Amino acid sequence: MFEIRSTKNKVILQIVLLLLTIPYAIPLIQMVLGSLGGTGLANYKAVWDTGVVPTYFRNSMIISAGVIILVYIFSMTAGFGFAKLHILGKEVFFWMILVALTLPEVIMLTPLFVTFQRLHLFNTFFAVILPLAALQLPFMILLARNFDSSIPNELMEAARIDGASVTKMFWYVILPLTKPIASSIVVLTLINSWNSYLMPLLFLQSPEMQTVTLLPQYFQGEFTNDQTKILAAAVLTAIPEIIIYLLMQKNFEKGMSAGALK
Distance of closest approach, residue 45 Cβ to another protein, in angstroms: 19
Q: Which of 85, 119, 175, 247 binds another protein (CB under 8 A)?
A: 85
DSSP three-state, residue 226: coil
Q: Which of 67, 68, 133, 209 binds another protein (CB under 8 A)?
A: 133
Write out the DSSP string of 42-80. Answer: HHHHHHHHTS-HHHHHHHHHHHHHHHHHHHHHHHHHHHH
Q: Is position 186 an interface residue for another protein (rule: CB under 8 A)?
A: no
Q: Which of 57, 72, 74, 218 binds another protein (CB under 8 A)?
A: 74
Q: What is the DSSP letter of 107?
A: G
Where do runs of H (alpha helix) occur along the chain? 7-35, 42-49, 53-84, 90-99, 109-118, 126-149, 153-161, 166-169, 175-177, 179-194, 198-203, 215-222, 227-259
Q: Is position 175 an interface residue for another protein (rule: CB under 8 A)?
A: no
Only one of the segments 42-50, 51-59, 118-126, 242-250 lies at the binding site for another protein (rule: CB under 8 A); that segment is 242-250
Closest to another protein by CB, 48 vs 74, is: 74
**How far is the CA of 37 from the CAs of 25, 30, 217, 229, 236, in angstroms?**
18, 10, 19, 9, 15
Q: Is position 116 an interface residue for another protein (rule: CB under 8 A)?
A: no
Q: Residues 210 to 239: which contact another protein by CB under 8 A?
A: 212-216, 220, 227, 230-231, 234, 237-238
Binding mask 25-64 for another protein (x = CB under 8 A): xxxxxxx-xx------------------------------
Q: Is position 66 an interface residue for another protein (rule: CB under 8 A)?
A: no
Q: Is position 88 an interface residue for another protein (rule: CB under 8 A)?
A: yes
Distance of closest approach, residue 241 Cβ to another protein, in angstroms: 5
Radius of gyration from C-alpha coordinates of the chain: 23
Q: Which of 112, 181, 199, 204 binds another protein (CB under 8 A)?
A: 112
Cα–Cα dist 182/184, whole Å? 5
* Phi and psi angles of residue 129, each rounded to the nearest 5 degrees, phi first: -60, -50
Q: Which of 106, 120, 176, 206 binds another protein (CB under 8 A)?
A: 106
Q: Residues 148 to 167: which contact another protein by CB under 8 A?
A: 160, 166
Q: Is position 78 an interface residue for another protein (rule: CB under 8 A)?
A: yes
Q: Is position 82 an interface residue for another protein (rule: CB under 8 A)?
A: yes
* Phi and psi angles of residue 128, each rounded to the nearest 5 degrees, phi first: -100, -40
User: Nearest 5 degrees, angle CA 149-CA 151-CA 155?
Assistant: 135
